[in-house]
Amino acid sequence: MSAEGSQGAGSVADRRWARVRELAADIARLEVLDRDDALDEDGRMELARLRIQAERASTRAMLADELADRIDQAERTRDRSGGAAGT
C-alpha cells in the first residue's frame, strides 16, 4: 500500500472530521436560535436530527482515524522488516 495508502486513509479521516465540523457549526447556529426561543417545532426536529448525524459522523471519523493509524503502523513495520525492498 505504501505511503499512498496511509495518506489516502488519512485523507478520508480528514474529510470525515470536516463533516463533523460542518454539522457542529449548523448545530451551534440552531442552538443559539433555540436559546432565544426562535426555533419552531420543525427547527427543534432539525436540531435533533443534526445532533444524531453529528454523533454518527464523529464515530465514523474516529474509526477512520484509527484505520489510518493502523495502516501507517503496518507500513512502518513492513518497511522496518524490509518488506518494501524490491517493490
What are the tens digits of pLDDT across the range 5-29?
557 889 999 999 999 999 999 999 9
**Local confidence band at 4 (pLDDT 50, 70, 90 cut-offs):** low
Query: What is each CA distance from 69 to 22, 27, 56, in whole angstroms?
Result: 24, 29, 20
Q: Can you give the residue range of the structural domain that contains 45?
A: 2-73
Number of domains in the chain: 1
Tell me the CA end-to-end span of the chain in Å, nearest whole number: 11
Q: Specify if 87 maps to a domain.
A: no
* Residue 62, domain member (yes or no): yes
**Residue 80 belongs to some domain of the structure:** no
Residue 48 lies in a domain: yes
Structural domain includes residue 83? no
List all residues 6 or more positions away from 76 whose beta carbon is below 8 Å from its beta carbon.
none
Mean pLDDT of 45-57: 98
Nearest CA to 69 out of 3, 4, 6 is that of: 6
Cell of 54: 453529528
27 domain-assigned: yes
